[in-house]
Amino acid sequence: MKNIDFLSKLHTKTKRDYLARMNERKAGIIEVAKEYGYDYWDGSRDTGYGGYSYDGRWKSVAQDLIKHYGLKAGDRVLDVGCGKGFLIYDLMTELPGLEVVGIDISEYAIENAKEEIKPYISVADAKELPFEDNSFDLVISLNVLHNLYCYDLEKALSEIERVGKKDKYMVVESYRNEQEKVNLMCWVLTGECFFNDNEWLWWLNKADYTGDYSFIYFE
């Protein structure tokens, strides 16, 4: 396993008021966000993204993934927790001939994905991937697995291992100190796993995960 950071450049662009996020309404807001419907994706910023439309932000990540993993036309990539599929779209446009598949638990996200990639994405659960063993040259899961309970987290990591015949890359939210832990707890709406780096590595080893990983922090 290697720690490889492709996402911090996107994550740090967002300005966050952590204390404002932690308010008396948050319990109800969390319940709404965890439905992963309109409110989470395209409602107010209080309940999620505050409107999640394609703006090309994932293009540089797509380029980095293609370069680092030496992807080529004909290779197969799976995005576990693809959301509206914007990264899938950028991977396909940056490398014509790349076969990219995505799954997400959110019916709303799949229904409101970019039209160009709708044939390649579907509703499915990360802990029970509907694919044969060793089906993909690269399996990615970005900012998703921390939304699972720990017993499902291990299943999802094992599933990523099962369907990936070569490379894997996952990103999760973590913390390195108490301030980052507080910020994480204040900001996150859908998270269930609140672990520090060492705890995450323990889980990866427990699930026999062999791929690459990185952590994002709420500084």
CATH number for 140 = 3.40.50.150
Domain assignment present for 41? yes
CA dihedral 49, 79, 163, 196 (to 10 degrees): -40
Residue with tokens 């599929």: 85
What confidence score (pLDDT) does residue 15 get?
85
Distance CA 88, CA 101 (A): 7
What confidence score (pLDDT) does residue 20 get?
83
Token pair of 187, please? Answer: 């900001």
Could you give the C-alpha distances from 195 to 111, 117, 183, 199, in angstroms and in order? Answer: 32, 33, 13, 6
Distance CA 22, CA 151 (A): 27
Q: Which residue range is the domain that position 42 belongs to?
A: 8-216
What confidence score (pLDDT) does residue 13 get?
78
What confidence score (pLDDT) does residue 24 get?
83
What confidence score (pLDDT) does residue 92 get?
97
Domain assignment present for 1? no
Domain assignment present for 2? no
Residue with tokens 């987290």: 153
Domain assignment present for 201? yes
Distance CA 51, CA 45 (A): 8
Domain assignment present for 123? yes
Distance CA 159, CA 168 (A): 11
Distance CA 33, CA 40 (A): 5
Domain assignment present for 155? yes
Domain assignment present for 20? yes
What confidence score (pLDDT) does residue 19 get?
84
Terminal CA-to-CA distance of the chain, rounded, Å? 25
Say if residues 92 and 117 touch (Cβ distance below 8 Å).
Answer: yes
Domain assignment present for 51? yes
CA–chain centroid gap for 197, Å, is: 17
What confidence score (pLDDT) does residue 146 get?
97
What confidence score (pLDDT) does residue 101 get?
98
Residue with tokens 């063993």: 133
| pTM score, whole prediction | 0.94
Counted domains in the chain? 1
What confidence score (pLDDT) does residue 75 get?
98
Q: What is the pLDDT along the chain (219 residues), one digit of tens a residue?
A: 899 999 998 888 788 888 888 888 999 999 999 999 999 999 999 999 999 999 999 999 999 999 999 999 999 999 999 999 999 999 999 999 999 999 999 999 999 999 999 999 999 999 999 999 999 999 999 999 999 999 999 999 999 999 999 999 999 999 999 999 999 999 999 999 999 999 999 999 999 999 999 999 999
Q: Is 208 left (phi over 0), alpha (psi -120 to 50) or beta?
A: left
